[in-house]
Structure 1
C-alpha cells in the first residue's frame, strides 16, 4: 500500500499514518522467542576432597583470588614481571582481544537494525533534444525505511549477538588465564631445573672425588679396576644427566619467550634463587564456580545465544512489515527545489507472508531447538569437568604436601647412607658396588624431593586455574540457579507481550 500525494494533502492522511505507527509500536512489544533460563546443573554443597586437604594445604584469606593478580601469591618479582608482559604481548591474548572487539561491533550492528534508515539522494542533469532549447532538471529526495520489530526477531538477534559478545569476553579471560598459567608453570619448572642442575653439579664434584679415590686405590693395588670403571661410569652418567637438564631448561626458556611475545634468541632468564612458596588458595563453595570459571560462563552465554536463535527462527512463521516514507522535490533550478509547490511525499506500509515453504520454517525451528539442546549439554559437561578439575587439584595438593615430608626424610637418610658407605669403602670395609648403589639412591632421593616441591607449586597453579583465577562474570552476579526451564516445543509459537 503506497501513496504519492502533493504536499498540500499532507494533513489528510495524518490520522492514518499515526494509527499505522501506533499499531507498529504495539506489535513491536511482542516476542515469539522462548524465555531464557540458565540451565540447571547438580551442585554439591561442599568439595569432596576439601576435608582431606585440610591441614595439608596452606590457609588463605577468603578474598585472596579476588585480587586478580594471583601470580603475586608466589612472591617472585620475576614471575610478576613476566605475567605483566604476557598480558601485553602474548599473541593468543591479542587474538582474543580482537575477537572480543569484533563481537562488540556485531552487537552494535544488530542493534542498529532496530532503528529506521534514512538516506538522501540528489540528482541534476542538463538535456537538449535538438528541437528545443537546453533545459535543466534537478531533484532531491529524503527516504526513510523502517522494519518494525513486530515479532521480536531483531531483538532476539541483538540478544544473541550480546550473548556471543559476553562469551567472547569470557574467552578472553580464558586465554589470559591459560597464557599466564602456562607461563607460570614453565617459569617454576625452569627454576626447578636450575636447582636440579645445582644438585648435579654438587653430585658431579662428589663423583669426581670418588673417581680420584678409586684411581689412587687401584694404582696402589688396593682396589680392583672394576671400582675405577664403576666410578667412571657413574661420573659420565651424571654429566649426561646434567646435559639433559640444561636442554630442558632451555626448552622452558624458549616457551616463556613465546608466551611473552619475544623471539627466543632475544630472551633469556639467568639462573636465580627458586622461591618454593606454595600459596594458600581459598576454594569457596562449589556454586561460586559457575560465576568464576570463564569457560563455564562462555558455555552459558552460548546457551543464551542458542535460545535467542529459536525466537529468530520462529519469527519466520509470521508476516514481516516494512514502513517507508519519502519527501522530495524536482525543479529546473536548484533554488526552486525547496519551494512547496514542487514537493512530493509518500508514506507506505508493506507486508509479506510466507504461504507455502514445504516445511522449511519448521525445519529451521527444529534445528534451532536441537542446537539449543546441544549447547545445554555442552554447558553441563563443562560444569562437570570444572568440578572434577577442582577436586583433582585438591587431592593433588594434599597428597604432594604429605609426600614432601616423606621424601625429605628419605633424602636425608640416603645422604647419610652414602657418606657412611663411602667412609667404609675408604677403610676397605665394603665393596665399591655398595657405594655406587648408595650414591644413585641419594641422587634420586634429592631429585625426587625437588620435583615434589615443584609439583606442589604446579598443583597450586592448576587449582587457581580450576577456580577461575579470580575472574568474575559480571552478568552472573548472585550465583543463584533458576528453576528448570526448556524452550517450548509446540510448532506454533505463543506471542508474549
Structure 2
C-alpha cells in the first residue's frame, strides 16, 4: 500500500503542458454577409422557400426530414451492416483497451514464479574448495515491482492513450455521419438520373413521332430530304445521351450497394424518384461557437492535439530521475516437498534510482520531436476548423443560389414547353420549317434536364448542410446507431 500511496501523492506533479483546446473563431456568422431569413421560392416542384433557423440543433436522424421511408431504410441498413462501421468500431475498442492497459502502470506489478534448477557448482564457485552437486534447487516466490511516478510520466502516458481513444470515438462518429451522407447523396443522385432518363425517353418518343411525320411528308414531296435527315440526326443524337445516363445510374446503384454492405447483385432497394422526396423547409443552423463541439472531425483533431500535448509530458519525464521499488518473498529447497518449510524462506527488498546522464541526445531529440508533433497537431486543428467553417458557408450559399437556379430553370422549362407547342402549331400551318421544330424540341429537352438537376441539387445541398454542421453526432449520444459489438467473445483473464 505504501508505494501506491506515494504514487497517488505524487500524481499531481506531472511535467509537460496541460491540455487546453484552442478557442473557436470569434465570429457570429459563417458567410461574409448575414444570412437572409429564408431562400427565395419558385413556382415549381421543390420550389418552397427554406427558412434558416439560426441557433437550432441539427437532429441526429436528419435524413428523415426528406420524408421518404425507403431513404430511411437505406440509411438504417448502411449503419447496421457497412464494414466501414465495423472497422471503426473495432478501432475504437482497440484504443479503449490500450487506454485501460496504460492505466495498469499506476499499480504495482505482482508476479508469481515457480521452478526447478538442476546445477553443479565448481570448487571455485562453491567457495569451499570442493565441487558441490549436482543437485536440484526448487523455488517458489512472489515478486512486487513499482515505479514511482515522480514527474507524471505514467499519468501523461495514460492521458495520451485516453486522448487517442477519444480520437477513435470521434472518427467512429465521423464514419456514421459520412456514411449517412453518402447514402442520402447517392439516393438523390439515383433519383435525379432516373428522372433524366425518363425525360430523355419522352423526348425520344416525341422525336420519333416527328420522324414518322417527316418520312410520310417526304414520300408525298411535302418536305425535303435534308429536313428529314435533320430530324433523323437529332433523334440519333438524343438517343445517344441515354446510354451514358443509364450507365451512370447503374454505377450509382452499385455504389449504393457498397454503402449498404452488400454486393450489387444483392442490392434490394426500391427505385427512388425526386417526386417521392420532400424538401425540408426549416433548416437548423447551429451557432458558429457550437460547430467545434458538433463536427466529429474537429473533435478528432482536438483529441489528437490532446494526445500530442500529453506526449510532450511523457518525453520530458523520460529525462528525469526514476525511482523503482521492488521486493520478493518465497522459498528455496532441495526437495519440492520441503518448499515453505522452516529454513527455506527467502526475501529481498530493493530501491533503485535511475537518472539518465548520456544517451547520445536521444532523449532530448525525442522531447523536441514531441513538441514539434504538438505544433503540428495545433496547426492541423486550426486547418480542420477553417475547412469546417468553409463547408458550412459553401452549403449555406449553395442553398440560396440553388433556390434562385430552380426558379430560373422552372421559368426556362415552362417557356421551352410553350415555345415547342407554338412551333408545332406553326409547322402544321406551314409557317415554319423542320429546323425550327427540332430546335424547339432540343431546347425543351435541355430545359427539362436542367430543371431535374436543379431540383436534385437543392435536395443534395440540403443534405450537405446537415453533414457540414455535424449531422447531430455528438460523442456518446448515438442512440440510433447499432451497438459496437465484438465479432467473437472469449473468456477474459485479468493481467
TM-score range, shorter chain: 0.7 to 0.9
Residue of structure 2 in register with 1:391 after alignment: 393
Q: C-alpha distance in 2, partners of 1:425/1:193?
A: 32
TM-score normalised by structure 1 residue count: 0.86
Q: C-alpha distance in 2, partners of 1:352/1:250?
A: 67
Distance 1:371 1:208, change over 3 A: same
User: For 1:94-113, what aligned pairs fall within 5 Å after superposition?
Assistant: 94-113=86-105
Distance 1:74 1:370, change over 3 A: same
- Worse-superposed segment, 100-109 or 451-460: 100-109
* Contact residue 66 and residue 279 of structure 2 kept, 8 A: yes
1:187 is displaced (CA, Å) by: 1.1
Residue of structure 2 in register with 1:54 after alignment: 38
1:142 is displaced (CA, Å) by: 0.7
1:32 is displaced (CA, Å) by: 1.0
Q: C-alpha distance in 2, partners of 1:120/1:421?
A: 97
Distance 1:182 1:459, change over 3 A: same
1:125 is displaced (CA, Å) by: 6.3
1:269 is displaced (CA, Å) by: 4.0
Residue of structure 2 in register with 1:423 after alignment: 425
Distance 1:133 1:153, change over 3 A: closer
Distance 1:123 1:378, change over 3 A: same
- Equivalent residue for 1:320, pick from 315, 319, 322: 322
Residue of structure 1 in register with 2:239 after alignment: 239
Residue of structure 1 in register with 2:110 after alignment: 118
Instruction: Show CA shifts across 1:302-351 (max 9, x none).
Output: 11111001101111221111111111012345454234543222111111
Distance 1:428 1:132, change over 3 A: closer
Residue of structure 1 in register with 2:157 after alignment: 157
Distance 1:53 1:232, change over 3 A: farther
**Structure 1 vs Structure 2 CA RMSD:** 2.6
Q: C-alpha distance in 2, partners of 1:133/1:380?
A: 72
1:109 is displaced (CA, Å) by: 1.5
Instruction: Show CA shifts across 1:53-94 (max 9, x none).
Output: 624452377898654122111111111111112112222222
Distance 1:71 1:332, change over 3 A: same
Q: C-alpha distance in 2, partners of 1:359/1:422?
A: 88
Residue of structure 2 in register with 1:360 after alignment: 362
Distance 1:21 1:290, change over 3 A: closer
Q: Within the alignment, does 1:168 sit opposite 2:184 as a pair?
A: no
Distance 1:219 1:312, change over 3 A: same
Residue segments in structure 2 that go unaligned for 5+ positions in a row: 41-48, 122-130, 478-495
1:460 is displaced (CA, Å) by: 0.9
- Equivalent residue for 1:68, pick from 43, 57, 60: 60
- Equivalent residue for 2:72, pick from 80, 90, 112: 80
1:268 is displaced (CA, Å) by: 5.1
Residue of structure 2 in register with 1:373 after alignment: 375
User: For 1:294-309, what aligned pairs fall within 5 Å after superposition?
Assistant: 294-309=296-311
Q: C-alpha distance in 1, partners of 2:134/2:311?
A: 58
Q: C-alpha distance in 1, partners of 2:164/2:28?
A: 30
* Contact residue 67 and residue 277 of structure 2 kept, 8 A: no
Secondary structure of the residue that 1:51 maps to in structure 2?
A: coil
Q: C-alpha distance in 2, partners of 1:67/1:237?
A: 46
Would you say how many aligned residue pairs link Structure 1 and Structure 2?
Answer: 457
* Contact residue 95 and residue 165 of structure 2 kept, 8 A: yes
Residue of structure 2 in register with 1:213 after alignment: 213
Residue of structure 1 in register with 2:126 after alignment: none
Residue of structure 1 in register with 2:258 after alignment: 258
1:128 is displaced (CA, Å) by: 11
1:46 is displaced (CA, Å) by: 2.3
Q: C-alpha distance in 1, partners of 2:182/2:59?
A: 20
1:406 is displaced (CA, Å) by: 1.8
Instruction: Show CA shifts across 1:18-67 (max 9, x none).
Output: 6x776555434411121111112423112335523624452377898654
